[in-house]
Amino acid sequence: MMVSFFDQFASPLYLGIPLIAIAITLPWVLYPTPSSRWINNRLITVQGWLINRFTNQLMLPLNMGGHKWALLLVSLMIFLITINMLGLLPYTFTPTTQLSLNMGFAVPLWLATVIIGMRNQPTVALGHLLPEGTPIPLIPVLIIIETISLFIRPLALGVRLTANLTAGHLLIQLIATAVFVLLPMMPTVAILTATVLFLLTLLEVAVAMIQAYVFVLLLSLYPRENV
């Protein structure tokens, strides 16, 4: 029984072809495209307002050089929110529950900021490895610790997103299974459990959006240090 709970996180196959590629590319079809009219409809207007608000908040601590990352980070956040929300629908697959996919998002962007920082301002980039005023005997130890923490950053980003979404999906499936089991025996308890399931689903909708926002927000910290 426990093995079947984790079957939902396996990439589905059709004729031996993994369907994760379709799950990744499908959200791009769902986005509304701007029209050539002078006045847009309500959906595009709300979408543009939300994107502008998020971009202003995300780019506020960065200098003008860091504003080049705005399009990439905002597009990534919208993409992650769409994938996470579609993954809450029945009989769907959530690609962001795969650690490999999340690491594929985190590692290249983290590595790009590190390489840009080393190329443009190597002294400042290397200065983050050693806090100011460190006693001389602690310098080798702190350099090793800061280097390890630097390389752990993309792993922490990927694991955080994967763990939160995986835990939410598992909890929903466990409670839904409990509802079906309790319904013939104890209908009252099953109704209460179904209410908890409904509230948990609303919470998971919020988690799906918040985790995408946190993922991109933490990624924006890297250009803040190196760009």
179 contacts 172 by C-beta, under 8 angstroms: no
Q: What is the pTM of this model?
A: 0.80
Predicted pLDDT of residue 9: 65
**Which pLDDT does position 199 carry in this prediction?**
92
Q: Is the pLDDT of residue 7 over 70?
A: no
> How confident is the model over 123-145, as pLDDT tens digits?
777 777 777 777 778 778 888 88
Q: From CA 197, how far away is CA 176, in angstroms rounded? A: 7
- The pLDDT tens digits for 18-41 are 777 777 877 777 777 666 777 677
Instruction: Select from 73, 70, 86 the least CA-distant residue to 31.
Output: 86
How many Å apart are CA 15 and CA 6, to the nearest integer? 22
Among positive and negative, which fits the CA dihedral 208, 210, 216, 221? negative
pLDDT of 17 > 80? The answer is no
Q: Which pLDDT score is estimated for 125? A: 73
| Residue 85 to residue 94: CA distance in whole angstroms | 9
Chain segment 208-225, per-residue pLDDT in tens: 889 988 898 888 887 777
